Amino acid sequence: MELSKGFRQLVAEAESQVKSLSPAEVELKLQAQTEGLLLIDLRDVREVKREGKIPASLHIPRGMLEFWIDPDSPYYRSEFDQAKEIILYCNKGWRSALAAQTLQNMGVENVAHLQGGMEQWQAENGRIEQNK
């Protein structure tokens, strides 16, 4: 199969259109306990179980994000009722960049993603909440 556009180009295009935050910037927002801030872990449940997650983050599998955020969806989650700012992350920042672009396309204005994802977070911050 020949592709006219690979994942790297899709991610690069998304990165050029969405806000990216460094681990330090995300940490500052978490420490400030910004009202309405929703930090979302998009990784697969196996990744979360194996590696833990950023404290205070909500796990939403990438494949469910559009359904959980849309009030017209039968899968809508009430966690979005008070959301004023959304920060997404995954393992490397690829899925989160694409997901942030999708949310922007859905009309979400205050959305960003963690550049470099969980890998970058662990390298620069290291604060992880292990699953119990």
Q: Are the CB atoms for 117 and 89 separated by under 8 Å?
A: yes
pTM to 2 decimal places: 0.93
pLDDT in tens, 47-73: 999 999 999 899 999 999 999 999 999
Q: How far is CA 68 from the centre of its chain?
A: 13
| 7-124 CATH | 3.40.250.10
CA distance 88 to 19: 10
Domain boundaries, the chain: 7-124
CA angle at residue 117 from 115 to 122, to 5 degrees?
Answer: 115
Query: Max CA-CA distance within the chain?
Result: 48
- Amino acid letter for position 80: F
Mean pLDDT across 101-126:
94
pLDDT of residue 132: 56
